[in-house]
Copies of this chain bind each other. A is one copy, B any other.
């Protein structure tokens, strides 16, 4: 496979995993219900994505910084919703 196709696959992968938490945030916010969402999952995901962001800043790589910045926003909002609607 050529380099351009490989880069496209990586970019689509990045967009999908970055925006995937948005429908979860929307559902949690709309239904005000989060009881089957695992709290340890949210804590590990928030810490992990935060460290990815720090890592991206340290190596100065925008393709690591940008998706992880948006994913961090989503999982942080989800964590707040989880704490609000137990």
Contacts and interface: CB of A to CB of B under 8 A. Distances in A.
B45 A17 contact: yes
A17 B52 contact: yes
Interface string A8-44: 0110111111111111101110010111111111001
Contacts of A58: 1, 6, 9
26 contacts: A1-B58, A6-B55, A10-B55, A10-B59, A13-B48, A13-B49, A13-B52, A13-B55, A14-B52, A16-B48, A17-B49, A19-B44, A20-B40, A20-B41, A20-B45, A21-B41, A23-B40, A23-B41, A23-B44, A24-B41, A27-B36, A28-B36, A33-B35, A36-B36, A36-B37, A37-B37
